[in-house]
Amino acid sequence: MFENSIKAYEDAKKVIPGGVDSPVRAFKSVGGTPPFIQKGEGAYLEDIDGNRYLDFVQSWGPLIFGHCDSDIENAVLETVKKGLSFGAPTVLETELASEIVDMYDNIDKVRFVSSGTEATMSAIRLARGVTGKNDILKFEGCYHGHSDSLLVQAGSGLATFGTPSSPGVPADFTKHTIVCEYNNIESLRKCFKESNDIACIIIEPIAGNMGLVPADEEFLKECRKLCDENNTLLILDEVMSGFRASLTGAHGVIETKGDIVTFGKVIGAGMPVGAFASNDEIMSHLSPEGEIYQAGTLSGNPVAMAAGLVSLKKLKANPSIYDELSAKALKLVNGLKEVASKNNVALQVNTRGSMFGFFFAEKEPKNFKEVSQFCDFDRFAKFHHEMLKKGFYFACSQYEVGFMSTVITEEEINRCIEAADEIMKNF
């Protein structure tokens, strides 16, 4: 049933490293051949063998309205007809920025870029420029894109200066990155004892890159407190959770506020968009107003802005969408949990708005180490593969989360739970 994809994968591997343009797409952690996709339609993906899948990946988050939403499609088509890019200001940028400013009360200004990686990289430069400090603090298991200073792994201690996690990153670049354990206040405090040169903490307030692991409220409060006491800025990376966890992302479900917030994924609705945002004072340091340099030839691309704008307007006009998405996400994970326990399979589940996660584990992991230790990765690989064969497309790693979209129906969720039941019977 995967003949064409198998052939396409072989061909791709000849001209593209590993056959993919982003490593996770290669299905390495679950094995097998990644289906090559020829189109999306509503809640479904169709591969080049004609197999159809109910899509819980949503291009890794952006497609909250599913594939080919007609409003977004029309806005894109109309904008495309007027030219693809001008390298000059357009009112679309102001409109999209205004939508974001309007929804977040800690944000006055937004700068658009073309990816989440660019957003966090620029946010960190801004934090360093504003504070005049050099070190940054990140948490093991949080992903903020692939820029050099963020590709670090933790050492053996609770809080350590990172070492590069990829060849090609000089140790000199990561020596300013402190890596700390997520949801561990002791580790956090230790960092601030070891360095008085911390420009920012960067955190996914709802981690979605080690599976779904939300930060404890207490932990986030401690981040906020330590930042306030030490002239350190708090960057809440909402590239994934923004307009996903709620209409105001993680900010809508936690009490802590970030000094700088980063966005991506949903704000581009499937087009390449990222953004970083903050209050007037902090943003005034950014070039051309201030001296901290940051730029992009395609930044604020009109077609991408048009897609994001329609998407955010639709969300804002129908805030009950989030209740529906949350209810559907809950229905799915509760159903999975039920069939798992019926079949004596240990499963931990969680949701935050339209984000959902499940771990094949006896207890709920609270940080990256626990995800690695507690979870049964073989079981996940088997589950993933069997679900794929039954037409359900889940993220191909236990370190990823799932996404609910408006176009997935209750009936489809029921079918998914039934399919999971059949698979778990044979675990």
- Annotated active-site positions, please? 143, 237, 265
Q: Can residue 145 be called a binding residue for ligand PLP (CB under 6 A)? A: yes
Binding flag, residue 144, ligand PLP (CB under 6 A): yes
Told to check if 209 binds ligand PLP by CB under 6 A, we report yes
Q: Which of 9, 27, 139, 143 binds ligand PLP (CB under 6 A)?
A: 143
Parallel, antiparallel, or unpaired for β 198-203 and 135-139?
A: parallel
240 near ligand PLP, judged by CB under 6 A: yes
Closest separation in Å from C-beta 22 to ligand PLP: 7
CB 121 within 8 A of CB 136: no
Tell me how far apart the alpha carbons of residues 273 and 306 are, in angstroms, rounded to a whole number.
11
3-state secondary structure of 425: helix
- List all residues 6 or more positions away from 245 whose beta carbon is below 8 Å from its beta carbon: 206, 252, 253, 352, 353, 354, 355
Regarding 140 and contact with ligand PLP (CB under 6 A), the answer is no
Contacts for 12 with CB less than 8 Å, ≥ 6 apart: 19, 20, 36
| 264 touches ligand PLP by CB under 6 A | yes
Instruction: Report if residue 400 touches ligand PLP, rule: CB under 6 A.
Output: no
- 174 counts as binding ligand PLP under rule CB under 6 A: no
Under a CB-based contact definition with an 8 Å cutoff, are residues 31 and 2 in contact? no
Position 115 contacts ligand PLP (CB under 6 A) = yes
Choose between 144 and 176: whose C-beta lies nearer to ligand PLP. Answer: 144
| CB-nearest residue to ligand PLP | 116
Query: For ligand PLP, which is the closer residue by CB, 100 or 240?
Result: 240
- Segment contacting ligand PLP (CB under 6 A): 49-57, 153-161, 233-241, 412-420? 233-241
- Contact 271/79 with Cβ under 8 angstroms? no
Taking the complex as a whole, how short is the minimal distance between the CB of residue 4 and ligand PLP, in angstroms?
27
Tell me which stretch binds ligand PLP (CB under 6 A): 89-97, 110-118, 217-225, 310-318. Answer: 110-118
Contacts of 221 (CB under 8 A, 6+ apart): 255, 256
Strands 355-359 and 348-352, sheet pairing: antiparallel
Residue type, 118: E
- 119 vs 325: CA distance, rounded Å: 26
Task: Assess 120 for contact with ligand PLP (CB under 6 A).
Answer: yes
183 versus 195: smaller Cβ distance to ligand PLP: 183
Per CB under 6 A, the list member of 5, 79, 90, 117 interacting with ligand PLP is 117
Give Cα 13 distance to the centre of its chain: 26
**For 318-409, where are the alpha helices, taking DSSP H only?**
320-342, 368-374, 377-389
Total residues in contact with ligand PLP, by rule CB under 6 A: 15
- The residue within the footprint of ligand PLP, chosen from 69, 181, 222, 237 (CB under 6 A), is 237
270 binds ligand PLP (CB under 6 A): no
211 to 25, 97, 155, 198: CA distances (angstroms): 16, 30, 21, 27
Nearer to ligand PLP, 131 or 209 (CB): 209
Residue 357 touches ligand PLP, criterion: CB under 6 A: no
| Residues within the interface to ligand PLP (CB under 6 A) | 115-117, 120, 143-145, 204, 208-209, 237, 239-240, 264, 274
